[in-house]
Amino acid sequence: MARDVEQAEAARWDREARAAAHMGRAAAWRLARALYEIHERALWQHLGYSSVREWLSDPELEVGYQHALRLIEAWRETVVVRGVEPERIEAIPPSRVRAVLPAVRQGRVDIDRALADAEVTPRRDLERLYAQPSRDEPIDPAQEPRLVRCPTCGSWVEERDVPAAADR
């Protein structure tokens, strides 16, 4: 009898944990979108902050700068650049999406296949499956992204991600 109670209790808390994890993933993507908009359009200036880092460190927000950049990158690459619908990724942890993005950028896998893998594969396994090709393979400089300083925050970004002056 006690064993049945413990088993039922374990199942209940397992369901609770899984539901919370799903809600956390959806919230992470909502945060990624908001961070992307604030960062890309320098909206933090209109909120009275002198830098995006200052805005991120506001006690009510308190998001680490590097974490914010990772979320922004995941949103930009999947939704903005590749046109993936936000609903398609909301159940996938952003860290899994980031694990497959280098292979997508390099054209080694299409975004739909990569996201399908990211839905069901743990991040560490994705990192192994989507590892960089062998160093013995020649590097094509034409395929390498050109990095420039972001005019908004000063970080290094791919040139194609910097909005044109008319867009700022």
- For residue 168, the model assigns a pLDDT of 47
Question: Which residue has 């990095």 as its token pair?
Answer: 147
What is the pLDDT confidence band of residue 160, given thresholds at 50, 70 and 90?
confident
pTM of the full structure: 0.74
Alpha-carbon span 66 to 46, nearest angstrom: 22
Alpha-carbon span 26 to 144, nearest angstrom: 32
Q: What is the pLDDT of residues 62-107, one digit of tens each?
A: 999 999 999 999 999 999 999 999 999 999 999 999 999 999 999 9
Question: Cβ contacts of residue 40 below 8 Å, gap of 6+?
Answer: 72, 76, 152, 163
Q: Is the pLDDT of residue 137 over 70?
A: no
Q: Which two tokens stand for residue 117?
A: 């893998």
Alpha-carbon span 142 to 160, nearest angstrom: 14
Strand extents, DSSP E, 49-92:
none
Spans of all domains in the chain: 2-132+141-160
Q: What is the pLDDT of residues 52-63, one digit of tens each?
A: 999 999 999 999
